Amino acid sequence: MATTKLGFIIQRAGYKCENPKLALTHSIASQSVEVYLNDGDLVTADIAFVGDGVLNCLKNQKAMERYGLTSTESHIKNGLLLDLNILVCKEDLEMLGLSEKDIVMDAEEFGADMTTKVVPFADITKMMEQVNHLLFF
C-alpha cells in the first residue's frame, strides 16, 4: 500500500486558456485512478490557485448561461465534493482586491463537507514540499 501525492498549481486565469479546467479535471480524475493500481495504492491531488489563477475561484460565474459550458466554479465545487484539498493564495487574492467573500468557499448545495482554504503563500509552499510531484498549469 502506497500513496503518491500530486500538487496541481494553477497560475493562469480561466476561460482564455484551457489550463485551469484541465488542472481541475485531471485532479478530479484522482478519484478513479484505483482501477489502474493495486489494492490499497492511491494517487491524491492537492490544488493551489496562485497568481492570476485565483481568478478561477470567483463565484457566480455564468459560463453555462453565456457559453453553454460547465463553469470553472462548478469544477471547483465538484473538487470540494470529492474532498480535494483546495488552497487559494491569500496574498494574490488581496493583490487583486479580492477576499473570501468573492470566491467559492464551499459547495454546500452539492453536499460537500470540504471547504476552500485561503492561506498565505507560505502554506502553499509547504504543500508543494510535501507532494511527490508538482504539475503547473
Partner 1 sequence: MGKLTIGCFSSLVGSMSLDFAVKLAGAAVEKGHKVDFWVSGNATMLSIKGQRAFKDYSALQKPLQELMGKGLTITACEACAEARGYHKDITMEGFKRHSMDWYLASTFDADRVLHIGGE
Footprint of partner 1 (CB under 8 A): 2, 4, 6, 12, 17-19, 22, 25-26, 29-30, 32-33, 35-37, 41, 43, 45, 132-137
Q: Which is nearer to partner 1, 4 or 115 (CB)?
A: 4
CB closer to partner 1, 20 vs 116: 20
- Rg from Cα positions in the chain: 15
- What are the C-alpha distances in Å from 66 to residues 15, 38, 75, 79, 117? 12, 43, 17, 23, 29
- Least separation in angstroms between CB 85 and partner 1: 15
Closest of 27, 67, 19 to residue 45, by C-alpha: 27
Least distance to partner 1, CB of residue 60, Å: 26
Nearer of residues 18 and 94 to partner 1, judged by Cβ:
18
Could you tell me if 87 and 123 are in contact, meaning their C-beta atoms sit under 8 angstroms apart? yes
Q: Which is nearer to partner 1, 35 or 65 (CB)?
A: 35
CB of 61 to partner 1, least distance (A): 20
CA-to-CA distance for 67 and 74, rounded, in angstroms?
Answer: 14
**Whole-number minimum distance, CB 108 to partner 1, in Å?**
27
